Amino acid sequence: MVIEDYLELQQCQKSLGEGLAMGRDGQPQQSSALSALSKYGPWIRVLPDLKDLQNKFDREIATRQIKVEAEDLILHLFERCPPDVQVNSLLYGYGLLFNDRKKTIIDLAIPHVRRLRIGCISLSSNQEASELIDQLDQCSDALRELELDIDLLGPGRNGVKEEQMKNEPKEWTSLKKLTLHRWNDNIDTNTFWPWAWVFKKCGQVEKLEVYNVGGPTQVLVQAMLTHMPKLTEATLGSNYHWFGPEGDIGIAGLLSGSCKGWRVLDVRSTAHFGITAMNALEKHFPTLESLVIDRSPEFPQDGLTQVLSSCPNLHTLVDAGAFSALDAETFVDQDPDTGLLKPWKCESTLKVLKVTIYVPNPLTIAVVGGDLSQEQELQNLVYDRLARLTKLETLCLDSKVIWGPGFPQMTLESGLHKLSGLARLKELYLSEGTWIGADEVQWMTEHWPRLHSISQLDDGRNIDAVIWSRDNHPEIRVTSDNCHFRLQDE
């Protein structure tokens, strides 16, 4: 639509010398009927991500082999839209070279952008810092997400000094999410002044993401407590970054940065999440609803059990660690005096559970002359514990959870029948190589009527289960590949 309208307008302009009349708006009067973009453009309220839009224009230009630039098409689209049209997402920075048309697009988009991404900028002078502030100052109340990837340790960093702000920053009233790809401000006494300007505008922020922490966290924690009173969600670190030199203490500091109490936490870095951080986390047990954590060697063995037993609103618990397993006795959590399972506060709320539970292999125990009956009883207790989580919708048993002779199994004989009360279960993720027969899949479909996905059914070992499922319940998605657990909302 945009391309056709643009080409028609160009043709009209080319025909001016042939006596084409001008319209009331000063534009050449098009010979054809009103174009679709002219007709519907004034009704457009939101434009998509401008980078994606540019890529689509580039592909279409190459396909049609026409002489036009994507930037010209974007500017043409802006002309057809109302002045207050919003932009869903804008990427600024990342070493891009800006020509006049790109600068014009940015000037048009920034006051109306919903999600602004500014990245890979190394601030090495007061002028560069001031230019960044000037750009951010153009953002209006349309801004909902701000994503910054700013390097404060680049060449010339020592020459950037604190400046007195001319005007007190006004809040972005719609900003709900702030993402910092890196935090490497190494000033102990006072933060780098652009950060102070940004933080003062974040009074409505509810979610903070900090991926790479390479410096002290005191300034950031103080900003959270002082300028982000509504903060209840956080992502700290990532699968690809270390969590800075402070380790356990740094995480504990950031965990103390919510005035209202954390509802959602994702701590998936390769950080040293230890006793200090766990003590900080305990203070948020009353409000915690979702926890994704990559457990480090310093993480307390009973840490996950503490979370499960103490959080009355918990609906999601994901152990993202790929190499650590939770001891079955710790997971079962028996009362040492009565031998009964301790009640967990999340039993009536938990919907998503991903854990790695280790139960010793009975075959190995028999070889070394151990007591096989104790380990079989431990398997039964694991099933008893799972059976109490009656609201579960997603269950991911990621590794050696219930062991049979020589390989993982989930059979009626091993205790699967105890899970008949999990009537809300929709997704079941199993360890690679887990054995399940046709009888087990039939039992699942009878007792878990909402089930629509079973992963890691090996076509060779579980061929009967696969065939029965596909013949009798083709609506259930059965996979045999190395399917990774998917987080909700990802």
Which tens digits make up the pLDDT trace of 426-483? Answer: 998 877 667 777 888 889 999 999 998 887 665 555 677 677 777 777 777 776 654 4
In a domain, 336, yes or no: yes
Residue 352: strand, helix, or coil: strand
Orientation angle between helical segments 2-14 and 70-80, nearest 10 degrees: 90
Where residue 95 falls (left for φ over 0; alpha for ψ -120 to 50; beta otherwise) is left
Give the span between the Cα atoms of 108 and 83, in whole angstroms.
9
Give the span between the Cα atoms of 286 and 104, in whole angstroms.
49
Name the pTM for this structure.
0.84
Domain count, the chain: 1
pLDDT at 73 over 60: yes
In a domain, 375, yes or no: yes
In a domain, 243, yes or no: no
Give the span between the Cα atoms of 252 and 189, in whole angstroms.
20
Total H helices, total E strands in the chain: 16, 17
In a domain, 31, yes or no: no
Domain with 390 in it: what CATH number? 3.80.10
In a domain, 265, yes or no: no
Say if CB 160 and CB 192 are below 8 A apart.
yes
pLDDT tens for residues 319-336?
887 666 788 889 999 999
- Helix, strand, coil share (%) of the chain residues, nearest 5: 35, 20, 45
In a domain, 309, yes or no: no
Give the span between the Cα atoms of 160 and 121, in whole angstroms.
14
- Which of 101, 97, 64 lies closest to 79 in space, CA to CA? 101
Establish how many alpha carbons lie within 13 A of residue 212's alpha carbon, considering only the half-sphere containing its beta carbon: 11
Say if CB 474 and CB 441 are below 8 A apart.
no
Backbone angles phi, psi at 299, to 5 degrees: -70, 135
Mean pLDDT of 48-63: 93
In a domain, 260, yes or no: no
Give the span between the Cα atoms of 134 and 136, in whole angstroms.
6
In a domain, 248, yes or no: no
pLDDT at 409 over 80: no
Give the span between the Cα atoms of 405 and 365, in whole angstroms.
10
Amino acid 489: pLDDT: 40
The residues near 177 (Cβ < 8 Å, ≥ 6 apart) are: 144, 145, 146, 205, 206, 207, 208, 209
Q: Which domain holds residue 365?
A: 320-480
Mean pLDDT of 17-43: 66
Mean pLDDT of 402-418: 68
